[in-house]
Structure 1
C-alpha cells in the first residue's frame, strides 16, 4: 500500500468496482460480476488474479446446473483494504471541496 492510503491493487477502476460490488454481498458468481462491471472474461480473470495474489478475494468453484461455476467473495483483508482506500479517496475529494 502506498503511503497516502491508496492501495495500488484496488486503485485500478475495474478492481475498485469489483471490490465495491463484492463488499455488498457474501459472494457473487463470476458471470454476474463480469456483466455488472462490463468487462470480458479474460479481463476479469486478470484482475481477480491480482486481487487473489494480494489476499483480497477468494474464488470458489462449484457445480450449478451441471456446469462448473466460479464464485467470488471479498476476504476480510480485502474489505479492510477497500475501507482504507475509500478513506484515502475521501480525503483527496475533501481537498477539492475546500
Structure 2
C-alpha cells in the first residue's frame, strides 16, 4: 500500500447538490443546516433529502443540539463530513481530475 489516494468515481457523490454539499463540508469542521441551505440556495426539503442520502451512505454525520440563544424547543442541526465521506469525496475529485485532464488511472 503506497498511501496514495486511489481515484474512484462515485455516482452518489457526483449528483450536483451532493457534490456541492461535500465540497462545502470539506472546508469546514461542521456547518449549521441553515448556513448550508443558504450557501446552496435551496429549500429545506431539498437539502434534507440530499443529507438523508449522504447520511445513509455514512458520508456525513448529523447532530442536533439546543441553542442557548433560544427559549423554544427548536434545535440547531450541525452537519459534518465523516472520515469515510472525506476519503470518498477526495477519491471522487481525483477521478474527476483524471477525466478532466484526459489522464488514465495508473
TM-score, length-scaled by structure 1: 0.90
Instruction: Please say which structure displays the higher CA radius of gyration.
Output: 2
Render the CA deviation track for 1:50-77: whole Å, top value 9, x for unaligned.
0000000000001112231100000000
Render the CA deviation track for 1:9-62: whole Å, top value 9, x for unaligned.
110111000001001111000000000011110000000000000000000001
- The counterpart of 1:69, out of the listed 72, 76, 85, is 76
Q: Which runs of 4+ in 1 moved over 6 A?
A: none
Q: 1:9 corresponds to which residue?
A: 12
Q: 1:83 corresponds to which residue?
A: 90
**Number of residues of Structure 1 aligned to a counterpart in Structure 2:** 93
Quick check: which one's helix share is greater? Answer: 1
- Secondary structure, aligned partner of 2:22: helix
| Aligned residues: CA RMSD | 1.4
Task: Confirm or deny that 1:36 pairs with 2:36.
Answer: no
Task: Confirm or deny that 1:21 pairs with 2:24.
Answer: yes
Q: 1:95 corresponds to which residue?
A: 102
TM-score, length-scaled by structure 2: 0.83
Aligned-partner Cα distance in 2 for 1:42–1:28? 17
**Unaligned residue ranges in structure 2 (runs of 5+):** 1-6
